[in-house]
């Protein structure tokens, strides 16, 4: 682990175990990217060298692989930083001033050639993970404010053209659908303008030329941010490829006053020679060991029950207790009452904002339910959606001024609700206060934190007009601030991030929430694709998946219970069906599946994931490996008669060791080498056939 500065070459080399990242100053003092890839042991071989001037039409500065391009001079490429000064100048000339190496953190500081603007670039190689963290800070050292119009987190360079980018696309209940496409000349943008990350794309990038699941070079970077993001891929006419990622500059402006500083969200980036699989495992590892909130990071996630699909808004103390009893008998460990327990919340038309118990539904308050659940040996959890308000609520009647809106415009409702102006300190104070009461008055172990609409008419009327385009970033910072404060006050509580399912699945939330509600789509087959896309960047431990009723509420599909369980057992298992309607046989089978899950969940939640085969090919097969134990889930939609059975070659085993393979009670012994070369052959006849295979070292 090292950060080296070679004075004579004016070059920085940051190295992890297997990777290095190099950049240095050219003869004009511009900071030039030099290398990102395999570890370099003789950085002195590199040098930023001579850039020259280029031509009037093709200026060198436009072609140069700059570490963090400002907008200024003859630059026509996508910039990282764009500001305007009080006198109208909109041009930056950052000049190197100093650098510091403090432990694992490198900072390189620039000052504008004339204006008192300071730009600091930060780099940290995360010990043991080969993941580089990058972010930037802008400081106003002068006496007048200036405005930041764009401040990306980082810029990355990839030699030549011919790269492919991988991301996910989708919508509500159909998030996380993986795609890969070639990058052609010009700019391509993936972004969100919805105030949150949204269901459409992920705030991360993956680039490769010809990588496969387990081979080939893959570069990747994930933005630690939960709001409007923008990732620009630019294949320049000069034959180079760049990626710039950070806060979206759409409708963004931040006035930086004297003495203030502005820090961008961080990007966590890395590269691997082991294909998409190694990339995911690297990101899972750092999530499990370093990024997820520390208090609960090492805990195995309990089997959860959530009442949403069973009761929707028709929540009563008796009804919930009846569900709790059945859930407990199946082996559930955490019972969560979803929407509908508070205010006048009888549908999605009213009640949001009124975070007190509805006394008709709970005549003696929440206590009888919480106590009942605890007596059944389970923990109790609850749903909230704190950033929102229904116009039909006491909160809105009392504080109609607490929402985002523009003057002379009717604010648009979405799911009959409006977004609270978190930039108003009184609003943040109210949310912390009301949730603190809820959490201190009851023994609540789990909070599902929802966010069910995008932000529109983002007018924070409490801010001075010149500050109002900062609202997008301020909202996210305030949201983080509220969650952080609640976590500080209630460290025992586990928090789940939900935004109409997976609308806020990002590393900003991963660092504050213990898990995600992955999607509102609980169909076991659709889920396989959603879960695969999710697994690119996020770990199984943080992926909640429920077994629900059939026909499924969304697509009316009927799938065997066993398959539904296998699909949900690939993450942190939950149950979300209307248990009153489940037959005794179904309850019994469920109890067996839950017991089975408890035996293997440490492998799923903490093991290394190998995507052996993806549902796009007709067979979803995922393998989890933890020390000498391994589990494979294989699920098909329907096998065709006569199809040649292709063995699944296992991964992550020790070639020289012997393993017992247990396929539904049929067991045999084979060497790791055999299982990785020849594999296991599964016969899965019928529709929606699925199997769980256990592989245990002898
Ligand atoms: C969102 C969530 C669901 C459920 C409902 C409640 O859609 O994603 O899981 O909590 O809200 O209204």
Length of the chain: 698
∠58-62-64 over CA atoms, to 5°?
A: 115
Looking at residues 145-155, what average pLDDT do you find? Answer: 98
**Residues 6+ positions from 404 with CB-CB distance below 8 Å:** 411, 418, 419, 420, 421, 455, 456, 457, 458, 459, 460, 471
- Which of 383, 416, 513 has the most ligand 1 atoms within 8 A of CB, as the residue to mutate? 383
Ligand 1 atom at minimal distance to the Cα of residue 520: 8
State the Cα–Cα distance between residues 154 and 133, nearest whole angstrom.
10
Ligand 1 atom at minimal distance to the Cα of residue 338: 10
Q: What pLDDT is recorded for position 640?
A: 77
Q: What is the pTM of this model?
A: 0.97
645 or 201, which is more confident: 201
517 lines ligand 1 (CB under 6 A): yes
**Residues 6+ positions from 599 with CB-CB distance below 8 Å:** none
Asked if pLDDT for residue 49 goes beyond 90, the answer is no
Contact 114, 96 (CB under 8 A): no
Q: What pLDDT is recorded for position 638?
A: 86
The residue from 338, 506, 520, 523 that is catalytic is 520
Question: Ligand 1 centroid to 295 CA: how many Å?
Answer: 26
Confidence of residue 434 (pLDDT cuts 50, 70, 90): very high
496 lines ligand 1 (CB under 6 A): no
Sheet holding 666-671, edge to edge: 608-613, 619-626, 629-636, 690-697, 658-663, 666-671
Where in the chain do CATH 2.60.40.1180 domains reside? 613-697
383 lines ligand 1 (CB under 6 A): yes
Q: How many CB atoms lie within 10 A of CB 410?
A: 8
Based on the residue annotation, tell me whether 208 is a catalytic residue of this protein.
no
pLDDT in tens, 548-587: 999 999 999 999 999 999 999 999 999 999 999 999 999 9
Q: Which top CATH class is 67-291? A: mainly beta
Question: Percentage of the chain with pLDDT > 70?
Answer: 100
Question: Ligand 1 centroid to 552 CA: how many Å?
Answer: 16
Where in the chain do CATH 2.70.98.60 domains reside? 67-291
Locus of tokens 């990355």: 156
Q: What pLDDT is recorded for position 352?
A: 98
Based on the residue annotation, tell me whether 450 is a catalytic residue of this protein.
yes
Contact 315, 361 (CB under 8 A): yes
Ligand 1 atom at minimal distance to the Cα of residue 448: 10
Looking at residues 273-294, what average pLDDT do you find? Answer: 98
Where in the chain do CATH 3.20.20.70 domains reside? 302-386+424-451+483-604
**What values do phi and psi take at 528, rounded to 5?**
-60, -40
Pairing of β 229-235 and β 81-84: unpaired
Asked if pLDDT for residue 641 goes beyond 90, the answer is no
User: Worst-scoring range by mean pLDDT, 211-225, 373-387, 567-581, 678-692?
Assistant: 678-692
Question: Ligand 1 centroid to 450 CA: how many Å?
Answer: 7
Which stretches does DSSP call E strand in 159-308?
164-171, 174-182, 186-191, 204-208, 218-223, 229-235, 241-247, 254-256, 261-263, 267-272, 304-306
Task: Please provide the average confidence, as pLDDT, over all residues in the chain.
Answer: 97
490 lines ligand 1 (CB under 6 A): no
Nearest CA to ligand 1 atom 1: 500
State the Cα–Cα distance between residues 177 and 529, nearest whole angstrom.
6
Q: Which fold has domain 302-386+424-451+483-604?
A: TIM Barrel (3.20.20)
Specify the CATH number for 613-697; select among 3.40.50.300, 1.10.3720.10, 2.60.40.420, 2.60.40.1180: 2.60.40.1180
CA-based torsion, 463, 465, 467, 473: positive or negative: positive
Looking at residues 261-284, what average pLDDT do you find? Answer: 98
pLDDT in tens, 352-388: 999 999 999 999 999 999 999 999 999 999 999 999 9
User: Worst-scoring range by mean pLDDT, 579-583, 595-599, 615-619?
Assistant: 615-619
Q: What pLDDT is recorded for position 51?
A: 80
């Amino acid at each position: 682990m090292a950060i080296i500065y070679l004075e004579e070459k004016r070059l920085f080399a940051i190295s992890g175990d297997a990777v290095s990242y190099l950049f240095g100053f050219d003869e004009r003092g511009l900071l030039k990217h030099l290398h990102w890839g395999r570890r370099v042991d003789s950085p002195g071989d590199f040098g930023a060298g001579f850039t020259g001037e280029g031509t009037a039409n093709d200026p060198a500065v436009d072609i140069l692989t700059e570490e963090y391009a400002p907008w200024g001079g003859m630059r026509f490429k996508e910039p990282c930083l764009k500001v305007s000064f009080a006198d109208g100048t909109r041009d930056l000339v950052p000049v190197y001033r100093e650098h510091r190496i403090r432990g694992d953190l490198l900072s390189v500081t620039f000052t504008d050639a004339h204006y008192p603007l300071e730009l600091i670039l930060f780099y940290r190689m995360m010990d043991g993970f080969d993941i580089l963290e990058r972010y930037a800070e802008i400081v106003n050292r002068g006496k007048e404010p200036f405005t930041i119009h764009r401040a990306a987190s980082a810029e990355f360079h990839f030699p030549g053209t011919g790269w492919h980018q991988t991301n996910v696309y989708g919508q509500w209940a159909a998030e996380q659908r993986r795609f890969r496409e070639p990058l052609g000349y010009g700019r391509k943008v993936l972004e969100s303008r919805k105030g949150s990350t949204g269901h459409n794309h992920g705030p991360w990038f993956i680039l490769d030329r010809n990588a496969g699941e387990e081979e080939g070079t893959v570069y990747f970077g994930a933005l630690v941010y939960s709001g409007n993001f923008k990732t620009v891929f630019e294949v320049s006419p000069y034959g180079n490829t760049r990626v710039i990622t950070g806060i979206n500059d759409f409708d963004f402006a931040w006035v930086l006053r004297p003495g203030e500083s502005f820090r961008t969200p961080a990007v966590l980036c890395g590269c691997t020679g082991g294909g998409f699989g190694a990339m995911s495992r690297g990101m899972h590892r750092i999530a499990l060991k370093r990024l997820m909130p520390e208090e609960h990071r090492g805990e195995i996630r309990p089997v959860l029950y959530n009442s949403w699909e069973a009761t929707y808004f028709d929540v009563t103390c008796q009804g919930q207790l009846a569900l709790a009893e059945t859930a407990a008998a199946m082996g559930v460990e955490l019972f969560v009452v979803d929407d509908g327990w508070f205010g006048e919340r009888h549908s999605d038309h009213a009640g949001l904002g009124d975070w007190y118990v509805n006394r008709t539904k709970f005549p003696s308050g929440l206590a009888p339910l919480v106590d009942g659940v605890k007596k059944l040996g389970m923990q109790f959890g609850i749903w909230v959606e704190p950033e929102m308000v229904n116009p039909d609520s006491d909160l809105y009647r009392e504080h109609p001024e607490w929402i985002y809106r523009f003057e002379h415009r009717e604010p648009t409702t979405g799911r009959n609700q409006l977004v609270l102006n978190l930039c108003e300190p009184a609003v943040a104070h109210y949310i912390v206060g009301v949730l603190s009461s809820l959490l201190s008055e009851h023994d609540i172990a789990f909070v599902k934190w929802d966010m069910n609409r995008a932000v529109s008419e983002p007018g924070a009327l409490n801010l001075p007009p010149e500050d109002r385009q900062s609202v997008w970033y301020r909202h996210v910072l305030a949201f983080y601030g509220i969650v952080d404060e609640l976590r500080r006050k209630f460290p025992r509580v586990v928090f789940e991030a939900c935004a109409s399912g997976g609308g806020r699945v990002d590393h900003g939330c991963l660092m504050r929430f213990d898990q995600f509600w992955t999607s509102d789509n609980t169909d076991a087959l659709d889920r396989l694709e959603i879960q695969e896309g999710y697994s690119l960047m996020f770990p199984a431990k943080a992926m909640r998946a429920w077994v629900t009723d059939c026909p499924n509420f969304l697509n009316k599909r009927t799938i065997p219970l066993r398959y539904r369980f296998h699909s949900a057992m690939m993450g942190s298992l939950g149950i979300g069906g209307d248990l009153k309607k489940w037959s005794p046989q179904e309850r019994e089978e469920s109890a067996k599946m839950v017991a089975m899950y408890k035996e293997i969940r440490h492998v799923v939640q903490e093991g290394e994931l190998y995507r052996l085969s993806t549902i796009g090919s007709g067979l979803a097969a995922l393998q989890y490996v933890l020390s000498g134990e391994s589990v494979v889930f294989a699920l098909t939609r329907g096998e065709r008669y006569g199809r040649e059975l292709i063995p699944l070659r296992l991964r992550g085993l020790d070639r020289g060791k012997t393993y017992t393979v247990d396929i539904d009670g049929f067991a045999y012994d084979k060497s790791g080498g055999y299982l990785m070369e020849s594999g296991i052959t599964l016969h899965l006849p019928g529709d929606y056939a699925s199997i769980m295979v256990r592989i245990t070292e002898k």
